[in-house]
Amino acid sequence: MYFCNALIFVLTLVSTVYACGGDGHNHAQHKRSPSSIPLTPPTSPLEWGDVNIIHTTDSHGWLLGHQKTSFPEPNYSGTLGDFASFVTHMKALAKKKDVDLLLVDSGDLHDGTGLSDGFPPGGIDAQDSNKFLLQLPYDTMAIGNHELYIYNDTLDMYKNFAPKLNGRYLSSNVNITLPDSNISVPVGERFRKFTTEKGRKVTALGVIFHFTANDKRTTVQAPADMVKEAWFAEAIQEEPDFFLLTGHMPVANDDWPLVFNAVRAVHPTTPIIILGGHTHIRDCNQPDGRSMALESGRYMETVGWLSAKLDQKGSTGNITFSRRYLDPNRVTYEYHTGVSSNAYDTAAGQSITQGLDNLAESFDLNFLFGTAPQDYSLSRSPYPSNNSLLSLFVGEVLPFALAINNSRASIPNIIITNNGPLRFDLYSGPFTKNDQLTASPLTDSFLYIANVTAGIANKVLPTFNNPGAIQRREYIERDVEMYRRGYVDMRYRAWLEGMAARASGIERRAAGNLTLGYVTNDSCPGVGDDTPHMPLPYFPVPHYIASPSPSVSDDTPVDIVFPDFIAARVLSVLNRIQTLKNYTSSDVASYSPLPADVVLGLYAQSKWN
């Protein structure tokens, strides 16, 4: 298979021979969470209104569901095919209830699992997996920042994705410069005006936050500037029955108020529905009594539901809204559709799941590196600890993998990294190519600085994690810039931390019969979570972590090893904590040809077989 060919370079670095033949010995069978795992059902039916919306965002390639058996993963075990069947059944219910039901997505289809990222060399990220999303009846889809990091990805969305949505793919403040004409045009449409099945007029936008890390020949306009454009004023001039402000921007602590206020200045009482994304959390607020803003999580761990009971144009009273965060699994879907398991699957849904299974097989995503002996989490266990993925990564994985065929392996070193290369928990059982891509998808290279005395090298990590007052200001500025470049882990972790902090020991004991999952506290009335859960434990995670210090004297020369992403910060810290030498980029060299996204697989092949 092509994946074995792709591994040739890596395997030449390893003395052990790994079979890639057709005997099936090293290929895991694709399995979902078994149906025997008990899942908690929803607590009550959804509240329907005149207008109802099913919302997805930040799916990042998680289209075959979460397939591990450790909780909370089974909560999210529904495939895109299961979801497609859900949408079909819900559309039938809406027709029976004589109400509108829309389907909306707020962006980030790329980067996250093997289905989007595991393509053969020369391929385009998510080009194949996105074809399955096109089979669902989305009314609007908005562009996300992960559609903009690589020009060819954006071009693919412009040429092959947006046209198939016939005006329903929205990029209100994002342009692409075409390769043949050098003309800058919107990737999708700036806005969409349409009429629902029940005759309601809708004006929809698709706005991304003020993103700054987009690739060359793409343009992202700040929302503050977008609302001053003539096309925007023209688009919102006519009053619809409601505005649908879809976009890849969180519903709190960002620029939605700028867009909302610009619409409100023209239409003081028209209902406004905001559907956001990007920060990977469940969140809701109401800018005023005639609007609601909903954000529906990440990684197909949440399907959002919003309903509104509209009144007559010109009315000024509060509108009744409802919202719900659904766990995407068969139990949830069958409960809300009222369709039994044996009648649930539609032909289209089954076809989508089978197609995704075939895509996984063609990408060799079930290639088995080894069998993980236990769960390793990013934040549900303390760092350092035996259950911490960070501890495993920096204490065992990197020292092992980076030493492979490395002429400097015998020289003592300290490996320092930020926590960014790790994106998802690692669960017990088969550790496959897909698991490698979900846990550590980044392709950072590893660099080093030689001949730093151990006494100085041992001060680098504490300085990273405990900066002085001046450096703290730099860190705050860095966090703002990192957010503008699309880094959202700090927002997601803060949300998890708040969730765990709100759960007292009494509440945890009362929830003893519940499974682990999200317990949401947002700004909208009532309970938002569709299914009750016990909150996930949370332990603070340091920004930077390091391998154990070598047992050498302080004056012993050692190598400082680090991913290229933090090279500038390593140089800055070294020059801050000592004055004997001014370190520059000329002191930095390549340490290993291995990228970060293969080290877990190499470790698993050696240690977990």
pLDDT in tens, 312-357: 988 999 999 999 999 999 999 999 999 999 999 999 999 999 999 9
The CA-based angle 233-269-281, given to 5 degrees, is 80
pLDDT at site 20: 42
**What are φ and ψ of residue 175, in 5° steps?**
-120, 160
pLDDT score for 469: 56
Whether residue 587 is contained in a domain is answered as yes
How many domains, the chain?
3
Backbone angles phi and psi of 219, in degrees to 5: -135, 130
Same domain flag for 67 and 166: yes
pLDDT mean across residues, the chain? 92
Beta pairing partners, 293:
274, 285
Same domain, 61 and 175: yes
**C-beta separation of 397 from 446 below 8 A:** no
In a domain, 414, yes or no: yes
Q: How far is it, in rounded angstroms, from Cα 378 to Cα 493?
A: 10
State whether 288 and 435 are in the same domain. no
3-state SS class at 457:
helix
**Per-residue pLDDT tens over the stretch 428-440:** 999 999 999 999 9
Asked if residue 12 has pLDDT above 70, the reply is no
In a domain, 321, yes or no: yes
pLDDT for the residue numbered 511: 59
Looking at the fold, whether 228 and 373 belong to one and the same domain comes out as no
**Domain assignment present for 3:** no
**Same domain for 227 and 280:** yes
Mark which of 297, 327, 362 sits at the end of a domain.
Answer: 362
Confidence of residue 421 (pLDDT cuts 50, 70, 90): confident
Residues 382 and 284 in one domain: no
pTM to 2 decimals? 0.93
CATH of the domain at 128: 3.60.21.10
Range of the domain at 503: 489-509+520-534
- Both structure tokens of 27: 């290929």
Instruction: Render pLDDT for 107-157 as a digit per residue (tens, 0 to 9).
Output: 999 999 999 999 999 999 999 999 999 999 999 999 999 999 999 999 999
Whether 136 is in a domain gets the answer yes
In a domain, 96, yes or no: yes
- Distance between CA atoms of residues 544 and 565, nearest Å: 12
Residue 19 has pLDDT above 50, yes or no: no
Q: Where residue 32 falls among pLDDT bands split at 50, 70, 90? A: low
Q: What is the pLDDT of residue 480?
A: 86
Is the pLDDT reported for residue 474 higher than 80?
Answer: no
Mean predicted confidence (pLDDT) in 5-34:
42
Tokens 């602590």 belong to 253
18 or 536, which is more confident? 536
Structure tokens at 398: 């990197």
Say whether 354 sits in a helix, a strand or coil.
helix
Residue 18 lies in a domain: no
Mean pLDDT, rounded, for 220-245:
98
Across 271-303, b (16+ Cβ under 10 Å) vs e yields bbbbbbbbbbbbbbbbbeebbbbbbbbbbbbbb
CATH number for position 601: 3.90.780.10
Domain final position from 335, 362, 389:
362
Do 344 and 380 have their domain in common?
A: no
Q: Are residues 382 and 479 in the same domain?
A: yes
What pLDDT is attached to residue 510?
58
Q: At 264, is the pLDDT very low, low, confident or very high (cuts 50, 70, 90)?
A: very high
Q: Are residues 193 and 170 in the same domain?
A: yes
- Do 105 and 171 belong to one domain? yes
Query: 343, 362, 381 — which closes off a domain?
Result: 362
Q: Is residue 273 part of a domain?
A: yes
- 493 and 358, same domain (yes or no): no
578/568 Cα distance (integer angstroms) = 16
The conformation of residue 227, written as its DSSP 8-state character, comes to T
Q: Does 325 share its domain with 373?
A: no
